[in-house]
Amino acid sequence: MSTVDQTYQRPKRGLGTTRLAGAGLLIFLGGFAIIGPAVIPFDPAAQDFGASLAPIGGDYLLGADHYGRSLLARLAHGARLSFGMAFLTMLAAAIPGVLFGLIAAWRGGWTERGFEFVATIVLALPGLMLVLLLLAFSPGNYGPLFLGLALTLWVEFYRVTKATTKTILSQPHIEAARMLGFGSRYILTHYVVPVITPMISTLAAFAMATAIIAVSTLSAISVGLQPPTPELGSMIVELLPYFAEAPMHVLLPAALIFLLVLALQLLAQGERA
Amino acid sequence: MAIKNFLLARLLQAGIVAIVVGALCFVLMRVLPGDAAMRIAAGRYGPDARIADAAEKVRLELGLDRPIAVQFIEWLGSLARFDLGHSLVTGRAVAHELQVQLGASVWLAVAALMLSLLIGPIVGLFGGLRPGGTADRVGLLGAVTFRAIPPFVLGLILMLVFSRQLGWLPPAGFGSPREILLPALTLALGLAAMSSRVTRNAVAAVARAPYFAFARYKGLPEAVVVRRHGLRNAAIPVVSYLGLQAIYLIEGVVVVESLFAYPGIGHALVHAIVERDVPMVQGTALAMGLMFVAIAAIVDLVTLWLDPRMRKIA
Amino acid sequence: MNIQLMNDLAINDLSIHAADGTIVSNVSLSLGRGRPLTLLGESGSGKSLVAQAIMGNLPAGVHATGRVLFKGLDLLAEPAAERRQRWGRSIGLLPQEPWLALDPTMRVGPQVAEVHRYVKGKTVNDSLAATSQNLAEVSLSQAEALYPFQISGGMGQRVAIAMADAADTELLIADEPTKGLDAALRDSVAARLKCEVEAGRLLLTITHDVAVARALGGTIGVMLEGRLVEYGPAETLLEKPEHAYTKALLAAEPSQWEKRTRPSSGKTVVAAQALEKRYGDRVLFSGFDVAIAAGEIVSIVGPSGCGKTTIGNILLGLTTPDAGAVVRDTVLSSLRFQKLYQDPPAAFAPHQTIRRGLKDLARLHGKDWTKIEALCGRLRLQDALLDRLPGQVSGGELQRFALLRALLLDPAFLFADEATSRLDPVSQQDVITFLQEIVEETGLAVLLVTHDRDLAEKVSTRLIELGGFQGKST
C-alpha cells in the first residue's frame, strides 16, 4: 500500500551540509597548499641540524624534522604537491574519459566496442598494480606515476559518461526534441551536459582523493616520489624512526593527507556518505 | 549456461592480465640501462658459470634480426607454459619463490576479508534497521573516517598503537596468527568502512521494499519474514560489492605487506620493482593479477547462486 | 442495531490525522457478505489511507480516530501486535502492482506455499499440495517454478490472488488491483474478485477505475480530498449520481462520451503498405496496410505488446519496418509529423523549465511568443505553469503542453501513442476534446493508438483492430 502523499514522508535532513563542510575544508586546505609555499619564509629543503626535531611552537611554528627542516614549510609544499598532482591527474583522466564516453554513446557500434575493449584491458588489473608496473620503468619519477594514475582513472569517467549519456539519448524526450527540429548540438549542451556535469564533478573529487592516496602510498613504500621531495607519504616514513621523541611530527603529515582526502570525499558524496 | 558465460569472461580477463603484465615486462627488460642480453640470459637460465655463454647466445638471438613480434610471442609463450625464469637478484627460480609467497598473501587476503565481513555487515545491519538512528550515525562517521585514511597510514597507526605503545602484537614478521592480525586488521577496517555502508543501504532498501512489507501482510511471523525475504535480498548487493572490493583488497595487500614487512607477493613485487628484477616483477604481478581475477570469479559464482535474476542476464 | 448485525465491517466516523492536519475526515462505510464495497477516487483522495486504517498499516506519523468494527470488535482499539495477528488470518491484502510485492529472488511456488506452512501451520507436504491447487485454480500450474521476473503482469496479479486464496481470510482488501494492467486484464481481475465475493468473502476494493467499480457492483463510495462525497448502492450511484464530482467522473468515462466523428475527404497524408515487423522469431504483424487522410482520426486498438506503437513509429520514420513501405506526402516537411507520448514527463527534459523549452523551440523556428500565449489560452494552461519543471505539473497539463509544442510547428500528422492512458478520466477527456477540435479546425491527421476500445470508438473515423493472434508465429 502506498499512495501516501509526499508530505507525509520524512523530509530529507542535512542535505548539502556535508557537501558544504567538505567544500569549506577543501578551501582551507587549498589555501594552505597554494598560498602557504609563497608566504612561509622557510625553504622546505634548508637543513638546520641545530634545530633537529625542534618541538612544535618553538622557533619553528610546527617544529622541524630530523634534518632541522621546517615542518610547516614542508607540509605546505607537500600539500601543494599532493593537491597539484591530484588535480593534474584528474584533468588528464577526466578530459579523455568524458570525451570518449560521449563519442562512444553517440556513435555506438564499433567505436563503442573499441573503447569498451580498451577499458576492459585497463580494468583487468587493479589500478595500483598498473601504476606499479609503469613505475618499474623509472621509480621515483613523476612521469610514470602521473601516466599510470591517469591511465587507470580515465576509465571511470568514460564508463559513467557513456552509460549516462546512452540512457539520456534513449529517452523519449530526446526523440521528441529531434522531431521538433533540435539538432545534436542543442541536445548535447541542453540535455546531456546538465545531467552529466554533477556526476563528473563527483567523480573528479573521488579521482583526486584516489590520486592523493596513491601518490602518498607509493612514496611511503618507496616506489613513488623519493626524499628529499617534500611528499607527505614519504615524510611520514622518514619521520617514523623518531616517533618516540616526536610523535606529533609523524602524525602531522598523516593528518594532512587524511583531511585532504576527507574534504574531497565529503564534497563528492554529500549526504550519500 | 550463465555460469559458463561468467567463467569465460573471467578466463578472458585472466588472459588479458597475462598479456598486459607480460608485455610491460617484455618492454621493461629491453629499456633498462645496461646489458640487456646478459640480463635476459640470467633471467632465462639462472646465474651459473656459463652465464657468459648464455648471454652470447641471447645476443646472437637478438642480433639475428628476429622481428620484435616473434620475440614477444616467444616471451608470452614461456609465460603460458608458466616458465617464469629466474630472479636477477637471487638467481632462484621465480616459480619457486612465488610458491612460498603466494600462500602467505592468500592467508592475509582471506584473513582480512573474513575480519571485514565480521565488522562491516554487522555495523551496516544495525544502521540499516533504523536509518538515521544513533547506530547509523556512528556507523557513518566510522565509515567516512576510515575511508579517508590511506591503508598505509592506518597500518602505521595500528602498528604504533598496538605494538609500540601497548606491545600487544608484533610490528612485523610472519608465521603465527599474531603476526597476521595487524596487517589483516588494517585491510579489514578499510574494507569494512565500505561494505558497512553498502550493507546499511541494502538493509534499508529491503526494509522499505514492497515485497518485504507484503510478506508481513501475508501473516508470516517476523522471524520468517526476515529469514525468507530479508537476508538473501540484502546479501545480494553486499556480495556483488565484494567484486569491487577485490580491487581495494589486492592493492591493500601490496601496500600493507610492504609496510609490515610481511613476506607475501605484494612485498616481493615492490622489492622487485625497486631492484629492477624484471622476472620477479613479472611473476609477482602475474600472481597478484590472477588472485584478483580469482576473487572476482568467486564473487560472480556466489552472486549467481544468490540472485536468480543474474542467471537470466548472462 | 439492525444495520449493525447485517454489516460484518462497519466504519464509523473514521478520520485520519497527520502532523500537519486531518487528511481524511468523518468517513462512515459498511460492507457485508455478498455486498462488496468499492472506494472510488483519484490518487491523493485518501482512499488508500482508509484501507490502511482498516488493515492497520498506516504510515508512521499518521493515526486514525473513529471506529472500525469488524464483526463487532473495534480494530482501532486493538494494540498493534494484535492487529498484526489478523494479517493473513482474518484480514488479507491483495497488493497493488503485485510484481513488486513478490520477492524477486524466490520462485512463485514457495511464495504461495509459505502461507500454508507458516500462517496455517501445515506440514511441508500438505503445503506443497495446497499450493499446487491454489495455483491450478488461477491456471498458473506451469508457473510454480518460475521467478517473478519471468512472469507477466497479469500472471503476477493471479499469483497474488492465489496467495489470497491460500490465506482464505474473511476480509479481503484489494488495493488498486488493476493498476498498470490493460483493459482485458483489468476485466479478468474484476471477474476473479467477483468470484471471491461469491465464495462468501468480504471484499473492499480501492480503485480509480469506474469500470472496476461497475463490474464489482455492491456498494460504492466516492472519495474526494479526504472526504466521502457520495455513498450508495452501485446501481443507483452509477445511474443517478448526485455529487458534481461523481457526475464529472462518470461523464469522463469514454463509454459515456458523445460520439463525435467526421468523415474526412482530405487527401492522404501518410500511408503504408504491407508493413511487417518481427522481434527475433516473433512476428509482431505482417501485411499491415494503413492510410490516414487529413482531418481524420484513425485508431489502432489492441492488447499490450501487439505492436500498435511500432506501427506509429514506423509511420513517423522512427522505426524501420522489416518489410513494406511508408509513403508520406512529399510536400510536407518532416517537422510537420509529430508525436504525443504515453508518459508525458518522459517527453520533456526533466531539468528544463517548460518556458525555457518553449522559448528555445520558438526561437529555433522563428515563431512569435504571442503564438505560444494564444495556444496556452486555448488549451487552458495558466502562465504560472510555464515556470515549473515538467515534474511539477500534472500529467494532464503536461500532455496539453506536449500538444501545444506540436501545434506550434503546424503539424499535418500527429501520432498519439496511448497519450491519455496515464491521465485521470477528466484530464483524458480534456486532452481528447482539444485534439478533436484541432482536427476539425486544421485538418490534422491523427493516428490514435490505445488499448481503450470505448475511447477509440467514440472519437475515431476508422478503427483498426490489431489482435495478438496475428503476432504468434507457429
- As a three-state string, the secondary structure of chain A is CCCCCHHHCCCCCCCCHHHHHHHHHHHHHHHHHHHHHHHCCCCCCCCCHHHCCCCCCCCCCCCECCCCCEHHHHHHHHHHHHHHHHHHHHHHHHHHHHHHHHHHHHHCHHHHHHHHHHHHHHHCCCHHHHHHHHHCCCCCCHHHHHHHHHHHHHHHHHHHHHHHHHHHHCCHHHHHHHHCCCCHHHHHHHHHHHHHHHHHHHHHHHHHHHHHHHHHHHHHCCCCCCCCCCCHHHHHHHHHHHCCCCHHHHHHHHHHHHHHHHHHHHHHHHHHC
CA–chain centroid gap for B11, Å, is 17
Q: What is the mean pLDDT of residues C448-452?
A: 88
> Does the pLDDT at position C271 exceed 60?
yes
Angle, helices C425-442/C244-251, rounded to nearest 10 degrees = 50
Sign for the CA dihedral angle at B104, B110, B111, B116 comes to positive
Q: How many residues does chain A have?
A: 273
Q: Could you tell me which residues are beta bridge partners of residue C87?
A: C91
> Does the pLDDT at position C411 exceed 90?
yes
| A179 contacts on C by Cβ (under 8 Å) | 316, 334-335, 337-339
Check B218 against C167: CB less than 8 A apart.
yes
- The percentage of residues in chain A with a pLDDT greater than 70, rounded to a whole number, is 92
| B213 contacts on C by Cβ (under 8 Å) | 57, 101
The Cα-based distances of B244 to A220, B191, B218, B238, C54 in angstroms read 24, 10, 37, 10, 46
The neighbour count for residue A110, using CB atoms within 10 Å, is: 8
Cell 473514521 belongs to which residue?
Answer: C14
Contacts of B93 (CB under 8 A, 6+ apart): B46, B84, B85, B86, B87
Nearest-CA distance B203 → chain C (Å)? 15
CA–chain centroid gap for B8, Å, is 20
B278-291 burial: b if 16+ Cβ within 10 Å, else e: bbbbbbbbbbbbbb
The residue type at C15: S
Cβ atoms of B54 and B44 within 8 Å: the answer is: yes
Contacts of A213 (CB under 8 A, 6+ apart): A257, A261, B150
With CA atoms as reference, report the closest residue to C253 among C425, C448, C41, C427.
Answer: C425
Check B20 against A130: CB less than 8 A apart.
yes
Please give the average pLDDT of every successive group of 10 residues along chain B, which has 314 residues. Answer: 84 90 85 69 65 67 64 81 79 85 90 93 90 88 90 89 78 71 92 92 92 93 92 91 89 90 89 85 90 91 88 59
Establish, for the pair of chains A and B, how many residue pairs have beta carbons separated by less than 8 Å: 121
> Does the pLDDT at position A15 exceed 60?
no
DSSP-derived pairing of the beta strands C297-301 and C445-450:
parallel
| φ, ψ at C27 (rounded to 5°) | -95, 130
Q: Angle at CA C183, nearest 5°, toward C179 and C184? A: 115
Q: How far apart are CA B105 and CA B102, in angstroms?
A: 5
Q: What is the mean pLDDT of residues A118-141?
A: 86
Give the strands of the sheet with C268-279, arranged side by side. Answer: C282-293, C268-279, C323-328
DSSP C456: H
Alpha-helical segments (H) within C365-424 = 369-378, 395-408
DSSP C117: I
- pTM over 0.90? The answer is no
Q: Which of B218, B309, B312 is facing C115, going by the closest CB pair?
A: B218
Residue range A96-125, pLDDT digits in tens: 999 999 999 999 899 999 999 999 888 888
| C334 contacts on A by Cβ (under 8 Å) | 179
Mutation target among B130, B208, B214, B217 for the C interface, most CBs of C within 10 A: B217
Cβ atoms of B183 and B105 within 8 Å: the answer is: no
Average pLDDT, chain A: 84
| A273 contacts on B by Cβ (under 8 Å) | 140, 143-144, 197
> Does the pLDDT at position A14 exceed 60?
no
| A1 contacts on C by Cβ (under 8 Å) | 48, 51-52, 55, 57, 93, 95-96, 175
pLDDT at A124: 87
* Nearest-by-CA chain B residue for A254: B153
| A171 contacts on C by Cβ (under 8 Å) | 346
Residue range A185-227, pLDDT digits in tens: 999 999 999 999 989 998 999 999 999 999 999 888 888 787 7
Q: How far apart are CA A271 and CA A15, in angstroms?
A: 6
Check C351 against A4: CB less than 8 A apart.
no
Q: How far apart are CA C223 and CA C236, in angstroms?
A: 17
Cβ atoms of A174 and A48 within 8 Å: the answer is: no
Residue range C66-85, pLDDT digits in tens: 999 998 889 999 898 899 99
Which has more pLDDT, B126 or C261? B126
With CA atoms as reference, report the closest residue to A262 among A5, A23, A4, A15.
Answer: A23
Residue range C366-379, pLDDT digits in tens: 999 999 999 999 88
> Does the pLDDT at position C278 exceed 70?
yes
With 0-12 / 13-18 / 19 or more C-beta atoms within 10 angstroms meaning exposed / middle / buried, residue C281 is exposed
pLDDT at A94: 96
Residue C39, C-alpha cell as written in the block: 472506494
The Cα-based distances of B6 to A159, B73, B305, C88, C228 in angstroms read 20, 28, 12, 41, 57
Domain C268-473 fold: Rossmann fold (3.40.50)
Residue range C92-132, pLDDT digits in tens: 999 888 888 999 999 999 999 999 999 989 999 999 999 99
Peptide bond into A228 cis (omega under 30): yes
> Does the pLDDT at position A182 exceed 90?
yes
Nearest-CA distance B270 → chain C (Å)? 44
Q: Which of C59, C334, C402 is facing A4, going by the closest CB pair?
A: C59
Q: How far apart are CA C228 and CA C15, in angstroms?
A: 11
Q: How far apart are CA A162 and CA C32, in angstroms?
A: 58
Q: What is the mean pLDDT of residues A78-83?
A: 89
Average pLDDT, chain C: 88
A129 interfacial to chain B (CB closer than 8 Å): yes
Q: Which of B5-9, C263-267, C357-361 has the lowest mean pLDDT?
A: C263-267
* Dihedral angle over CA of C405, C411, C416, C421, nearest 10: 30
Check B211 against C84: CB less than 8 A apart.
no
Check A173 against C349: CB less than 8 A apart.
yes
- Name the pLDDT band for A13 (thresholds 50, 70, 90): very low
* Nearest-by-CA chain A residue for C95: A1
Residue range C429-438, pLDDT digits in tens: 888 999 999 9
- Name the pLDDT band for C380 (thresholds 50, 70, 90): confident
pLDDT at B49: 54
Q: How far apart are CA C167 and CA C171, in angstroms?
A: 10
For residue C288, the SS3 value is: strand
End-to-end CA distance of chain C: 64
Which has more pLDDT, C243 or B80? C243
| φ, ψ at C414 (rounded to 5°) | -130, 130
> Does the pLDDT at position A271 exceed 60?
no
Check A181 against C365: CB less than 8 A apart.
yes
Residue A235, C-alpha cell as written in the block: 615524510
Cell 618492454 belongs to which residue?
Answer: B27
| A173 contacts on C by Cβ (under 8 Å) | 346-350
Report for A24-38, A225-239, A258-272, C115-129: range of highest mean pLDDT: C115-129
CA–chain centroid gap for A49, Å, is 36
Check B270 against A223: CB less than 8 A apart.
yes
Check B236 against C105: CB less than 8 A apart.
yes
Domains C9-252 and C268-473 share a fold: yes
The Cα-based distances of B55 to A247, B45, B64, C180 in angstroms read 52, 10, 14, 77
Q: How many residues does chain B have?
A: 314
Provide the residue ranges of all domains of chain C, joining segments of one domain with +: 9-252, 268-473
Residue range C316-342, pLDDT digits in tens: 999 999 999 998 888 888 899 999 998
A28 interfacial to chain B (CB closer than 8 Å): no
Q: How far apart are CA C412 and CA A42, in angstroms?
A: 77
Q: Is C9-252 a CATH 2.60.40.10 domain?
A: no
Nearest-CA distance C395 → chain B (Å)? 25
Q: How far apart are CA B254 and CA B256, in angstroms?
A: 6
